Amino acid sequence: MASYPRIGVVGGTGAVGTVTLGLLRDRGYEHVRVFASARSAGTEVHGYLVEEATTEALERGDIDIFLFSVGTGASLALVPHAVAGGAIVVDKSSAYRLEPGIPLVVPEVNPNRALEHNGIIANPNCCTIPLTCVLKPLHDRAGLKRVRVATYQSVSGAGAKAMDKLAHEASKDHDLRMDWEFDGVEFDEESKLREETRKIMELPNLAIQATCVRVPVMVGHAETVWIETEEPLSAADATSILGAAPSIRLDEFPSPGKAAGEDEVLVGRIRQDTTVEGNYGLTLHLASDNLRKGAALNAIQIADLLVSALASR
């Protein structure tokens, strides 16, 4: 890696990619290049000239860290070429998240795993990231026994085309949607949330059940979470723990609108779950910007870890 990190953003014209470029600029990254499809090549985004993401360009060896914000198929096709060129890839898609030996990283939860890569680091699902930010400090204090979660996910999680569709849709046509692959029992979004949480938390047998829906909101995902702990934990203590946890901000009534444009996970409605005897059950509500902490910011935080590790050598 060069003395200064050379960053390549693949998929830089998409919903997450454009947010990534703004965050990189805000965080002082100066050597940034943008790659996208042939259709976007030659255009400009955030003042950057867009280059075509060809296999030759990715293998050239003049990028240190690639941040991929493309679909699963494109990642599977292109990421190996970027790695072959000597770069480290932080990939946002689901292509590599559950692959053995590939770290799945939330810097507030398992930062050391980012340094155990063989060229690829996976960026988790946009609901898994804020959920694990909340679960980690509670697990450290009282242990997790069971987790149930209901998600309310904005259309930006489905990409720029879905955002444009909502923007031009009559309000009478707004409805809940479930637009993920369905196996007859659950959506793949629900299984992703379960398996990714287990991997990140390193709790392979954690009992976790998810129900996911898409709501007619442009940006910001919300989740209601029911938690059972191994040791008693009061709502007051949980509030204190979460208030001191990294990347979390307490808010009495978290909502996607409040979270949009913010870097923190908003957490509130923290209370005892009265269906669980004793102080072994909690209920809370969270909201986060799925394009920022749920995607782009988490990837950049991983890049920050890589750069810091190099600087400390």
Residue 224 inside a domain? The answer is: yes
Predicted structure pTM score? 0.96
Q: Does residue 88 sit in the same domain as residue 42? A: yes
One domain for residues 84 and 23: yes
C-alpha closest to that of 76 among 97, 48, 46, 104: 97
Q: Rounded CA gap, 241 and 299, in Å? A: 25
- pLDDT digit string (tens) for 57-115? 999 999 999 999 999 999 999 999 999 999 999 999 999 999 999 999 999 999 999 99
Residues 273 and 257 in one domain: yes
- First-to-last alpha carbon distance for the chain, in angstroms, is 12
Pull the structure tokens for residue 32. 């940034």
For the cut 60, the answer to whether the pLDDT of residue 47 exceeds it is yes
For residues 70 and 135, state if they share a domain.
Answer: no
| Same domain (yes/no): 284, 137 | yes
The single residue of 126, 127, 133, 212 carrying the catalytic annotation is: 126
How does residue 310 score in pLDDT terms, banded at 50, 70 and 90?
Answer: confident
* CATH (domain of 46): 3.40.50.720
* Class of residue 226 by CB neighbours under 10 A (exposed 0-12, middle 13-18, buried 19+): middle
| Summary mean pLDDT of the chain | 96
268 and 163 share one domain: yes
Q: Are residues 145 and 72 in the same domain?
A: no
Could you tell me if residue 1 is inside a domain? Answer: no
Any residues with CB less than 8 A from the CB of 170 and at least 6 apart, and which? none
Q: Same structural domain for residues 140 and 277?
A: yes
Q: pLDDT band for 160, please (50, 70, 90 cuts).
A: confident
Residue 242 lies in a domain: yes
Kindly state whether residue 2 falls inside one of the protein's structural domains. no
Same domain for 46 and 83:
yes
Note if 127 is an active site residue.
no
From the candidates 117, 139, 221, 285, which is the catalytic residue? 221
Residue 17 lies in a domain: yes
For the segment 300-306, the average pLDDT, to the nearest whole number, is: 97
Q: What CATH code is carried by the domain that includes residue 136?
A: 3.30.360.10
Report the number of distinct structural domains present in the chain.
2
Which token pair is 195? 């398996």
Do 104 and 175 sit in the same domain of this protein? no
Domain range spanning residue 251? 128-290
**238 is a domain residue:** yes
Which tens digits make up the pLDDT trace of 2-13?
A: 557 999 999 999
Can you give the pLDDT at residue 1? 57
212 is catalytic: no
Domain co-membership, 51 together with 195: no
Asked whether residue 80 is domain-assigned, the answer is: yes
Q: Find, among 127, 142, 149, 133, the residue nearest to 244 by Cα.
A: 133
Same domain for 171 and 142: yes
Confidence band of 313 (pLDDT split at 50, 70, 90): low
With respect to residue 215, please indicate whether it lies within any of the assigned structural domains: yes
